């Protein structure tokens, strides 16, 4: 984890209520896709967490949806604004379990960390298939970036306005070696029930400290209580007590 002052270098609308934000600054500390960063916003006591999409030695990005006061304020901030950010938080996706053809299943903004994961997999000469689900075509984002990776991409929308009509789980391919997922909990629960393999799932919780100190984000797992912010947000499906997750 590293606390630093980072500068917004991009903050633009890419879809319905959805923004792409990129920061630059010294040594953001990410080591794997699926980790997150936590932004301190003016006049907001609690930081706001976002999964990292892409990262380099001096930049990192995310896609976020405006759902309340904090994200609305974030969307109004201009390029050049400096913010206090905790980078490199949590445990991200482990690509060692991927096998030859992992499937990446994203719902809504869950597509964002999966794009970073898709890049990490292709860099490691593993070709995943991605399934992205959105409510409607106007909500879809990252489509061309996934296509540019040269991997198979299946898009599903609830109303059929783009790609297959249905949800991401209904659009799963028949053959895959492992599952990686990020999205709404009901989608991931249905995916876990439908999937033929184990997998890694990125969970969300309301966070307090965001770095493991307050236990405010604890969930019960088969191995005892675990903190979403520190032990996750990515968890192995076989460790989760799915019926207890809310």
Ligand X SMILES: Cc1cc2nc3c(=O)[nH]c(=O)nc-3n(C[C@H](O)[C@H](O)[C@H](O)COP(=O)(O)OP(=O)(O)OC[C@H]3O[C@@H](n4cnc5c(N)ncnc54)[C@H](O)[C@@H]3O)c2cc1C
Binding footprint of ligand X on the chain (CB under 6 A): 36, 48-51, 62-65, 67-71, 109, 112, 204-207, 233
Nearer to ligand X, 66 or 127 (CB): 66
Instruction: Give least dist CB 105 to ligand X, A.
Output: 15
**Residue 213 touches which of ligand X, ligand FES, none (Cβ within 5-8 Å per kind):** ligand FES
Nearer to ligand FES, 165 or 213 (CB): 213
Instruction: Give least dist CB 99 to ligand X, A.
Output: 26
Three-class SS of the chain: CEEEEEEEEEEEEEECCEEEEEEECCCCCCCCCCCEEEEECCCCCCCEEEECCCECCCEEEEEEECCCHHHHHHHHCCCCCEEEEEEEECECCCHHHCCCCEEEEEEHHHHHHHHHHHHHHHHCCCCCEEEEEECCHHHCCCHHHHHHCCCEEEEEECCCCCCEECCCHHHCCCCCCEEEEECCHHHHHHHHHHCCCCEEEECCCCCCCCCCCCCCCEEEECCEEEECCCCCEEEEHHHECHHHCC
Instruction: Give least dist CB 101 to ligand X, A.
Output: 25
Nearer to ligand FES, 190 or 209 (CB): 209
Query: In the complex, which residues of this chain contact ligand FES (CB under 6 A)?
Result: 207-210, 212-217, 227, 229-230
**Residue 208 touches which of ligand X, ligand FES, none (Cβ within 5-8 Å per kind):** ligand FES
**Residue 215 touches which of ligand X, ligand FES, none (Cβ within 5-8 Å per kind):** ligand FES
Nearer to ligand FES, 129 or 207 (CB): 207
Instruction: Give least dist CB 49 to ligand FES, A.
Output: 9
Count of Cβ atoms closer than 10 Å to residue 2 Cβ? 15
Nearer to ligand X, 164 or 185 (CB): 185
Instruction: Give least dist CB 63 to ligand FES, A.
Output: 22
């Amino acid at each position: 984890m590293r606390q630093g002052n980072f500068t917004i270098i991009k903050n633009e609308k890419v879809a319905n209520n959805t923004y792409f934000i990129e920061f630059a600054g010294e040594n953001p500390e990410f080591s794997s896709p699926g980790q997150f960063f936590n932004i301190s916003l003016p006049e907001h006591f609690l930081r706001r967490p976002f999964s990292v999409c892409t990262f380099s030695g001096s930049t990192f990005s995310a896609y976020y949806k405006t759902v309340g006061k904090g994200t609305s304020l974030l969307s109004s901030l201009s390029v050049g604004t400096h913010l206090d950010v905790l980078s490199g938080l949590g445990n991200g996706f482990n690509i060692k379990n991927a096998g030859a053809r992992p499937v990446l299943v994203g719902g809504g903004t869950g597509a964002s960390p999966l794009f970073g994961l898709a890049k990490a997999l292709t860099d490691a000469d593993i070709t995943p298939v991605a399934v992205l689900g959105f409510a409607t075509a106007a909500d879809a984002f990252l489509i061309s970036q996934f296509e540019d990776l040269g991997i198979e991409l299946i898009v599903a929308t609830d109303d059929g306005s783009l790609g297959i009509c249905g949800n991401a789980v209904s659009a799963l391919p028949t053959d895959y070696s492992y599952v990686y997922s990020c999205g709404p909990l009901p989608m991931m629960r249905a995916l876990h029930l439908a999937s033929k393999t184990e997998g890694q799932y990125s969970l969300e919780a309301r966070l307090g400290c965001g770095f493991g100190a307050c236990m405010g984000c604890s969930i019960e797992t088969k191995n005892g209580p675990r903190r979403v912010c520190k032990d996750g947000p990515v968890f192995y499906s076989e460790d989760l007590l799915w019926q207890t997750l809310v």
